[in-house]
Structure 1
Amino acid sequence: MNIFRFLFSKTFVKQLGLALLILVAFVFIVKWWLGNTTNHDQRIAVPDLKGMTLDVVDQELSNANLRVFILDSSNYNPDYPKYSVIEQNPAAGKFVKENRKIYLVLNPSGYRKVKIPNVISKTRRQAEPTLNALGFKIGKITYIDHIGEDELREMYHKGKRLQPGDLLEKTATIDLVLGNGKGNYRDALGGDTDAQNNDTDGGN
């Protein structure tokens, strides 16, 4: 009976009401603290950074209270300036919280270099697809006297002779020198036949 009498007493009601007030105040304080520490209600629109250089990107993100994180460079894209942004994550227009990292992919300074394959002595029909598959372009075609018709004899880039194994920028133009089929076996052997004939004559 004493317990029931206490539960309905003014003292208990006052203590209960005080406890509820403290609980409500605590909940509001926790929500306020979480909102300030996690930027719960703050939303920042990510700017469009594509095509911008790093110095401009740094300024844009600094003004927006965002951070930059550079990923590895991608394949060269001629539609964008060198070392400019070609990809970003999150995308432009997305809403993020303050101090969020924006991941960027930069445009390299040029196409990567590719090793020249050994296609000397191959026919044009064999050599061209091999070079094209590696990203090279075929430029001027010239012919020299050589018994192998349409056989690749030499390769040039901007007047410089190329050798198999040389490194050349992807999409570069390669000029081809082919045989016209009008040579003879002495030409094909590079004079070895004459040397062999002389040795034979000397031996006789």
Structure 2
Amino acid sequence: MFKKLVAFIVTPEFRKNLLIAIVMVFFLILIAIFSLRIFTKHGESLTLPDLSGLTIEQAKELVASGSIEFKVDTVYIQGKQAGTIVQQDPDPKTEVKEGRTVYLLIQSLVPPQVKLPDLEGKTLAEARAIIEGYGLKVGEMTYKSDIAKDVVLGITYKGMSISAGAGLAKGATVGLVLGNGFGAAAISIPDLTGLTLQEAIFTIRGNSLLLGKVTFEGPITDSASAKVFKQEPPAVLGDTTTIQQGSMINIYLRQE
């Protein structure tokens, strides 16, 4: 049996078949190697550029030679230009194979909507923190007569009053209507003529007014005995002129 096997191996037919098999295996290995190189694009890579600030069309033109594929999602970041790339993955200057998928975040064309929070009765500091926390901005601040100083009385948007719950675009600017701390009541101007400084102060404060400039005229030996002879604004007998609570009154005193 062994002799027959040896005799077959040395025959020309066996050597021919063996040579054919070796050649076929060699070519199969070459085909596999080249197929793998093509499939993996071996040795073919590019450095990914910085795409931030570009539009999708501009990004495609920039990397057109690399057959890069883009997968896009949207985000809203205040201050960024709508429709431009704000973030990419992989990062810029990364070596990537041609045909690689690059993930992009694009600034949304339409800002998301937020509901205006209830700010009435909040202090200015509290309202500012809440507004900015909602992605809004504080714009013009106007004051109106109210006993509470720097407390929110209302909200405006583009010159119109709006209420809590109103929908606004993120990044919008709202105005605040605040109390001036003086109150809303209008009162008659008190007559301070003939009062000492302390009596005048007592009367001014009793009428929810503020003491303004105090001026002494003439020789003064005892300021406590000096009396008011003039005031601004003046109190005219029978006059119906009024002033707002919190207003100032200047007084002039001299010693009789």
Report the TM-score when normalising by structure 1: 0.71
Match of 1:47 in 2: 49
Q: How does 1:177-188 map to 2 (within 5 A)?
A: 177-183=177-183
C-alpha distance in 1 between matches for 2:149 and 2:98: 69
Q: Deviations over 1:88-132 (max 9, x none)?
A: 223333343443333221112364332111111333354333223
Q: Distance in 2 between matches of 1:97 and 1:166?
A: 49
* CA distance 1:77–1:151, change in 2 (3 Å): closer
- Per-residue CA deviations over 1:142-196 (Å, capped at 9, x if unaligned) read 33222334332112234332321222333443332222343369xxxxxxxxxxx
Amino acid at match of 2:75: S
Greater helix share, structure number? 1
Structure 2 distance, partners of 1:146, 1:77, is 35
Q: For structure 1, list consecutive stretches of 5 or more residues without a partner in the other structure.
A: 186-204
Shift of 1:24: 1.1
Amino acid at match of 1:75: Y
**1:145 corresponding residue in structure 2:** 145
Equivalence for 1:133: 133
Instruction: State the Cα deviation string for residues 40-68 of structure 1 (Å, max 9, x = none).
Output: 33223333322111222232233332233
Give the counterpart letter for 2:63 in structure 1. Answer: L
Does structure 1 residue 2 correspond to structure 2 residue 28?
A: no
Residue segments in structure 2 that go unaligned for 5+ positions in a row: 186-256
Q: Aligned partner of 2:49: which letter?
A: P
Counterpart position of 1:122: 122
Alpha-carbon distance between aligned partners in 2 of 1:159 and 1:84, rounded to the nearest angstrom: 31
Deviation by residue 1:61-93 (Cα, 9 ceiling, x = unmatched): 33332233322x112252x43211112223333
Q: Which residue of 1 aligns with 2:154?
A: 154
2:71 aligned partner, one-letter code: F
Contact 2:78 2:171 in 1 (8 A): no
% of aligned pairs identical? 27
**RMSD in angstroms over aligned alpha carbons?**
2.9
CA contact (8 A) 1:77 1:107 kept: no
**2:148 partner letter:** G
Runs of 4+ in 1 over 6 A off after TM superposition: none
- Secondary structure of the 2:63 match is helix
Secondary structure of the residue that 1:179 maps to in structure 2? strand
Q: Which residue of 2 aligns with 1:109?
A: 109
Query: In structure 2, do the counterparts of structure 1 residues 20 and 104 end up closer, same or farther at CA, with 3 Å as the change threshold?
Result: same
Per the alignment, in what secondary structure is the counterpart of residue 147 of structure 1?
Answer: coil
Question: Larger radius of gyration, structure 1 or 2?
Answer: 2
Which amino acid counterpart does residue 64 of structure 2 have in structure 1? S
Greater RCO structure (CA 8 Å; 6+ sep): 1
User: Is the deviation greater in 7-16 or in 124-133?
Assistant: 7-16
* Contact 1:76/1:110 (<8 A) preserved: no
More strand by share: 2
